[in-house]
């Protein structure tokens, strides 16, 4: 009997489990992933409505959507004084605005990529909604590209502005008639424009005013007016063009000559003179009708940019401009002037104050007085005196109360073990040096197993107490030993260095790379700059006419070449100035990167010379793109 009851209970439990499993609700598995962006099923009013008189738009989708960073991405052209409100309501996106719309005007509401479906995040790209307060929809368009003037890269968060008012003051005081945002390739398109004559500008808007009302904003302008005629009818944006460039095998040597028996096929980067279409295609930037080059104007007003106290013993003050013949004075309330000393940068626009009295720099806040050149609202420059409290919050000491000796550390140009021919021996620190103890510093030439003492002269940089130079006679191919005993170097806070011994040599010039390039087809002054791949300056040569220029003693690596067209002959790049209608000096880049390997001598000469007749050229492959613009 007990066995029968146990069997019945077991069967009942199994039945309950089976029924529960069958009743469990779950999502069906399998099937293709949704990759379709949201679809508009209706809108109030309809997209393209005429004679619009309302203050609200409603756009209904076939599914629930989400707004992605819509406050930054959403724009209206012409812009409104008060930005419209964009929000979700069920499956709809609603736009409400308080501004009274202009009569007989076409308005374009740009959502860019700010709308996506809720579940999979599929983006509705470049969505626009157009209405007109008049009987017609304006259908003309303006296209162009905006690049940074100095490096020809794409500027971040830049807008193209179109003004019907032609006076220069319009872009400073008023909102534009039309506006559009530059994409990640520098391209812009302003649609639904009415015929007329306009001024075209580029702006990185620092205060969201939609006009150039601050001199520190990045800005671009066209020298001439833009004429919009019915010949420029609205055409939908073209499909993305695919790049088909491929370099034939073995063609990399066509524009170069390599000396010293180097493999010519690998001595430099790929040549782009012979191109062939291929099946694998990648998108390239769209090219518009107008090109603008954006710059930041030189500061003209004198003022204090910033003041900070990053360390308890250091104060820093930065001016907008060097004081020229005027003074930049400093003092500390109730402090002896022997308790600190000051240093100015070489341009004299930065003042560093080093506090040497511990009773002074241990204070969490210090009241300082500075007197500096200042330009008022009328443009008159005089002196301004300010009292500035400099604060420093010391970090909490560690729980372990064990006190360690503070060691003074510094860097030197010999710590890598090599110097280039002609390179100086330099010692740098973050804190000013005291006069080094030269009785503890020795320099030797190593000859087989013997040391031969060398005379030297150690002296401080004239403008920077954190830098020392060691001057001596060194020869290529020889080996040296630098020894600095403990406490040979120290800083002004009585921290001493540990002992150090460094072997180094002067590298053979034959182990370095050399680049020779001929420049042609430009009549005027030019600066030829050699850059690393991240476009940091490596070296530069000045030329007044076509010819060859040489860059010796180069480390192996990938380089770029840039030319600055020095129109004013001041031997540096000059930015633009809208008040005088001066465009920034043009630049151009060599079409490809150049790879140098150890011991290479690379020449681009004669028929293979660099043609710099085209200004403001940079191959799109070299152009840095900013994502998420």
**395 pLDDT above the threshold of 90:** no
| Segment 556-597, tens digit of pLDDT | 999 999 999 999 999 999 999 999 999 999 999 999 999 999
Tokens of 471: 């001057």
Tell me the three state secondary structure of residue 21.
Answer: helix
Q: How many CB atoms lie within 10 A of CB 17?
A: 9
Name the residue with tokens 């002074």.
Answer: 360
Same fold, 304-391 and 411-507: yes
Q: Are 546 and 613 in contact (CB under 8 A)?
A: no
Q: Give me the pLDDT at residue 14, please.
A: 52
Q: What does each C-alpha distance from 298 to 217, 221, 443, 483 come to in angstroms?
A: 11, 16, 47, 47
Q: 277-280 contacts: CB < 8 A, separation 24 or more?
A: 277/244, 277/246, 278/244, 278/245, 278/246
Q: What is the Cα–Cα distance from 559 to 161, expressed in whole angstroms?
A: 36
CATH value of 34-137 in 3.40.50.2300, 2.60.40.1220, 3.10.28.10, 3.40.30.10: 2.60.40.1220
Q: Which residue has the higher pLDDT, 463 or 28?
A: 463
Q: What is the Cα–Cα distance from 212 to 204, expressed in whole angstroms?
A: 9
In the chain, where are the structural domains located?
Answer: 34-137, 304-391, 411-507, 511-620
Q: Give me the pLDDT at residue 208, please.
A: 85
Q: Give me the pLDDT at residue 612, please.
A: 98
Ranking 198-207, 402-411, 609-618 by mean pLDDT, the lowest is 402-411
Q: Give me the pLDDT at residue 249, please.
A: 40
Concatenate the DSSP letters of all residues of 314-380 into one string.
Answer: EEEEEESS--TTS--EEEETT--GGGEEEEE-TTSSEEEEEE--HHHHTSSEEEEEEEEEEE-TTS-
| Arithmetic mean of pLDDT, 369-384 | 94
| Segment 133-179, tens digit of pLDDT | 999 999 899 999 999 999 999 999 999 999 999 999 999 999 999 99
| Chain mean position to CA 265 | 34
User: In terms of CATH architecture, what is 411-507?
Assistant: Sandwich (2.60)
Domain 511-620 classification at class level: mainly beta
Ranking 52-66, 251-265, 575-589 by mean pLDDT, the lowest is 251-265
Tell me the three state secondary structure of residue 508.
Answer: coil
Q: What is the Cα–Cα distance from 385 to 74, expressed in whole angstroms?
A: 44
DSSP-derived letter for residue 607 is G
| Alpha-carbon dihedral 227, 102, 146, 208, rounded to 10 degrees | 150
Q: What is the CATH number of domain 304-391?
A: 2.60.40
Q: Which of 165, 149, 154, 169 is nearest to 219 (CA)?
A: 149
């Amino acid at each position: 009997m007990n066995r029968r009851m146990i069997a019945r209970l077991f069967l009942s439990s199994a039945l309950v489990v089976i029924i529960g499993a069958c009743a469990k609700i779950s999502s069906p598995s399998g099937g293709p992933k949704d990759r379709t962006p949201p679809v508009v099923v209706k809108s109030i009013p309809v997209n393209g409505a005429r004679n619009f008189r309302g203050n609200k738009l409603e756009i209904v989708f076939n599914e629930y959507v989400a707004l992605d960073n819509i406050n930054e991405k959403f724009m209206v052209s012409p812009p409104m004084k008060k930005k419209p409100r964009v929000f979700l309501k069920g499956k709809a996106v609603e736009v409400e605005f308080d501004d009274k719309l202009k009569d007989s005007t076409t308005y374009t509401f740009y959502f860019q990529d700010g709308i996506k479906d809720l579940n999979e995040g599929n983006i509705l790209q470049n969505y626009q909604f157009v209405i007109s307060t008049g009987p017609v929809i304006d259908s003309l368009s303006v296209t162009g590209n905006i690049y940074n003037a100095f490096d020809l890269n794409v500027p971040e968060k830049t807008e193209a502005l179109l003004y019907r008012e032609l006076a220069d003051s319009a872009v400073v005081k008023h909102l534009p008639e039309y506006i559009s945002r530059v994409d990640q390739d520098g391209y812009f398109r302003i649609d639904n424009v009415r015929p007329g004559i306009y001024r075209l500008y580029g702006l990185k808007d620092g205060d969201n005013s939609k006009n150039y009302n601050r001199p520190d904003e990045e800005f671009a302008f066209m020298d001439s007016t833009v004429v919009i005629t019915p010949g420029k009818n609205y055409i939908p944006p073209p499909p993305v063009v695919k790049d088909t460039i491929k370099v034939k095998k073995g063609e990399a040597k066509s524009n170069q000559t390599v000396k010293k028996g180097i493999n010519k096929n690998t001595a430099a980067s790929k040549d782009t003179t012979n191109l062939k279409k291929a099946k694998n295609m990648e998108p390239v930037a769209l090219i518009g009708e107008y090109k603008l080059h954006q710059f930041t104007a030189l500061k003209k007003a004198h003022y204090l940019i910033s003041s900070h106290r990053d360390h308890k013993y250091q104060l820093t003050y930065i001016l907008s401009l060097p004081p020229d013949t005027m003074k930049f004075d400093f003092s500390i309330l109730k402090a002896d002037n022997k308790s600190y000393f000051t240093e100015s940068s070489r341009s004299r626009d930065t003042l560093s104050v080093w506090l040497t009295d511990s009773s002074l720099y241990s204070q969490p806040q210090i009241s300082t007085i500075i007197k500096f050149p200042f330009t008022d609202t009328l443009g008159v420059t005089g002196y301004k005196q300010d009292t500035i409290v400099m604060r420093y919050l010391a970090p909490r000491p560690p729980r372990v109360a064990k006190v360690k000796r503070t060691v003074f550390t510094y860097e030197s140009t010999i710590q890598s073990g090599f110097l280039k021919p002609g390179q100086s021996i330099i010692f740098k620190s973050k804190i000013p040096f005291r006069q080094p103890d030269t009785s503890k510093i020795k320099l030797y030439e190593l000859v087989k197993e013997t040391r031969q003492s060398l005379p030297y002269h150690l002296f401080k940089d004239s403008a920077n107490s954190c830098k020392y130079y060691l001057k001596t006679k060194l020869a290529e191919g020889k080996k040296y030993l630098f020894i600095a005993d403990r406490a040979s170097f120290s800083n002004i806070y009585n921290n001493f260095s540990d002992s150090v011994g460094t072997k180094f040599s002067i590298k053979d010039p034959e182990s370095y790379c050399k680049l020779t390039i001929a420049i042609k087809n430009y009549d005027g002054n030019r600066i030829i700059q050699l850059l690393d791949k991240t476009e940091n300056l490596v070296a530069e040569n000045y030329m007044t006419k076509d010819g060859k220029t040489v860059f010796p003693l180069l480390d192996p690596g990938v380089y770029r070449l840039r030319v600055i067209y020095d129109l004013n002959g001041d031997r540096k790049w000059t930015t633009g100035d809208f008040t005088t209608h001066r465009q920034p000096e043009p630049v151009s880049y060599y079409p490809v990167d150049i790879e140098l390997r150890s011991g290479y001598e690379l020449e681009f000469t004669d028929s293979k010379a660099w043609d710099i007749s085209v200004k403001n050229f940079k191959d799109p492959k070299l152009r840095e793109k900013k994502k998420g613009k």
